Amino acid sequence: MLYNRVDLRNCWTAIEPFLIGHLLIRPSISQNIVELILKYMDLVSERLSKEIFKNLEISMNNHLHNESQWLLWSLIKINYDFTVFELEHLYKKCDDDITKIILLSIIYKSGKDSEEKLSSLLKEEIEHLTTFNFESDKWLLLHEWYMNKWQCYKKLEPHYNRNKFFQALKKNKVSFLLI
């Protein structure tokens, strides 16, 4: 990569807006952009992560699922510290199960699942999920919730144990979440 041969320290503040623009225009190169950001992490401004977060909200509002997932992944990689309010806000507006799974992972890995607002939101979600079965379009969310042993996951066990496909996924410890 070119950025491995060029020192960008002298022009980093000019490069940050360019990187944000390319995260939005070309989500397929997000991995390269994040690698570049991580290389210069000591120069990264708080403005950059706030701008990425703002664009995540815009993408979610516009139902741009792929862009939302890449922006969320980017924030994870640069160790963005999500507030409880931000996580609650994002989860409530989320209409995509893959993005929800990423958000759930953030909530649980950060230990913020015990925060009152998030805890009640997660309880509502599991109650809602128990109305679905594993043949529904919610199968991926149900599977990840169960496999990751997220709050009240045992409520999904009756559905899970009735389906040979999901029993095979469980036996082989298959998860689609790799963050």
Q: Looking at per-residue confidence, does 51 or 132 come out higher?
A: 51
Question: How far is Cα of residue 69 from the mean position of the Cα atoms in its chain?
Answer: 6
pLDDT for 101 beyond 60? yes
**Predicted structure pTM score:** 0.88
pLDDT for 103 beyond 80? yes
Counting Cα atoms < 13 Å in the Cβ hemisphere of 27 gives 16
Name the least confident of 7-21, 70-84, 111-125. 7-21
Looking at residue 120, what is its pLDDT?
95
Q: Average pLDDT of 136-145?
A: 90
Q: Do the Cβ atoms of 106 and 89 come closer than 8 Å?
A: no
Tokens of 46: 């708080």
Q: Average pLDDT of 115-120?
A: 95
The CA-to-CA distance between both ends of the chain, in Å, stands at: 23
Q: Average pLDDT of 89-115?
A: 95
CA distances (Å), 73 to each of 41, 85, 154, 161, 171, in order?
A: 16, 19, 28, 32, 28
The beta-carbon contacts of 42-48 under 8 Å, at least 24 apart in sequence, are 43/9, 43/12, 44/16, 44/78, 45/13, 45/16, 47/16, 48/16, 48/19, 48/20, 48/78
pLDDT for 1 beyond 60? no
In terms of residues, how long is the chain?
Answer: 179
Closest alpha carbon to 77 in 31, 131, 135, 18: 31
Looking at residue 112, what is its pLDDT?
96
Mind listing the pLDDT tens digit for each residue in 4-49? 677 888 888 888 888 888 887 887 788 888 888 989 989 888 889 9
Greatest mean pLDDT range, 64-68, 89-93, 157-161:
89-93
Looking at residue 3, what is its pLDDT?
54
Q: Average pLDDT of 94-102?
A: 95
Looking at residue 100, what is its pLDDT?
96
